[in-house]
Amino acid sequence: MAYTLYGKAGFGSVCVEAALELVGAAYEFVELDPLGEAAEQRRLRTINPVGQVPTLILPDDSVMTESAAILIWLGDRYPEAGLAPAIDAPERAEYLRWMLFLSASIYSTFSISDGPERFHPDPATHPTLLDGANQRRADMWVLMNDAFDGAPGPFLLGETMSLLDVYVAMMSRWDPGRADFVDQCPALLPAVEATEADPVVAAVWARNFRTGG
């Protein structure tokens, strides 16, 4: 009963790799670069027609995509790991809200950076599109930061680390990079640092990111 995770170092598969490690599930990691050579992209599209990672094959051979959905599913599938608020826990609504916010409002801006030609065929428009995506991402980080300003911590939902912390910690490493995140998201930073101090997360991060962010 093992999972197969298609991903690439530093890409969106990092959070799923961390979740699988944290719940103690057996998995095989298969590296496929969604932005790599055409043959590699074609191979990924035969598994996930969108051509994106993370793509996770479940033990029953079904295909799961969408990072937030995968994390929520793994958190619920392995409740003993304590990585997701139970369905009737008071933190559940906040957990779902921000998991989906990260996916829909922050991760989605990278879809523009990863392929502006998908949004407008004229290359002359791409610098404007990229600027807009970067600005939108920065605005959304600030909005999320403000929502957690004054939260008791040490993790986003309180005393225990959840997959929401893992998801934020992964994205905090992406463009424009950790220095900007430290600057713009001081209310989120303690949870990110506490998450990255977890030995299981730290080992996954060491495989995926250069130290220091």
- Whole-angstrom CA distances from 163 to 26, 114, 152 are 18, 25, 18
Sheet holding 63-65, edge to edge: 27-31, 3-7, 55-57, 63-65
Measure the CA–CA gap between 106 and 190, rounded to whole angstroms.
20
Q: Which of 79, 115, 177, 186 binds ligand GSH (CB under 6 A)?
A: 115
Residue 85 touching ligand GSH (CB under 6 A):
no
Burial of 99 (0-12, 13-18, 19+ CB in 10 A): buried
Return the number of the residue (67 or 162) whose C-beta is nearest ligand GSH: 67
- Give me the least distance between CB of 153 and ligand GSH, in Å please: 26
User: Distance of alpha carbon 184 from its chain centroid, rounded?
Assistant: 18
Provide, rounded to whole angstroms, the least separation between the CB of residue 83 and ligand GSH: 18
Cα-atom radius of gyration of the chain, to the nearest Å? 17
C-beta of 76: minimal distance to ligand GSH in Å?
Answer: 17
- Which among 71, 54, 59, 65 has a CA at the least distance from the CA of 26? 59
The interface region with ligand GSH, picked from 20-28, 80-88, 108-116, 179-187 by CB under 6 A, is 108-116
Using CB under 6 A as the binding rule, whether residue 9 contacts ligand GSH is answered as: no
Beta strands at 27-31 and 3-7: parallel, antiparallel or unpaired: parallel
- Interface residue with ligand GSH, options 21, 76, 105, 111 (CB under 6 A): 111
Fill in the per-residue mask, 25 to 64: x = in contact with ligand GSH (CB under 6 A), - = not in contact: ---------xx---------------xxxx----------
- Identify whether the C-beta of residue 32 lies closer than 8 Å to the C-beta of residue 7: yes
Which of 17-25, 71-79, 106-114, 120-128 is the region at the interface with ligand GSH (rule: CB under 6 A)?
A: 106-114
Is 84 or 187 the residue whose CB approaches ligand GSH more closely? 84
Q: Which is nearer to ligand GSH, 31 or 158 (CB)?
A: 31
Max distance between CA atoms of the chain, in angstroms, equals: 52
| Nearest alpha carbon to residue 5 among 75, 52, 72 | 52
By C-beta, is 14 or 161 nearer to ligand GSH? 14
Residues that bind ligand GSH (CB under 6 A): 11-12, 34-35, 51-54, 66-68, 103, 107, 110-111, 114-115
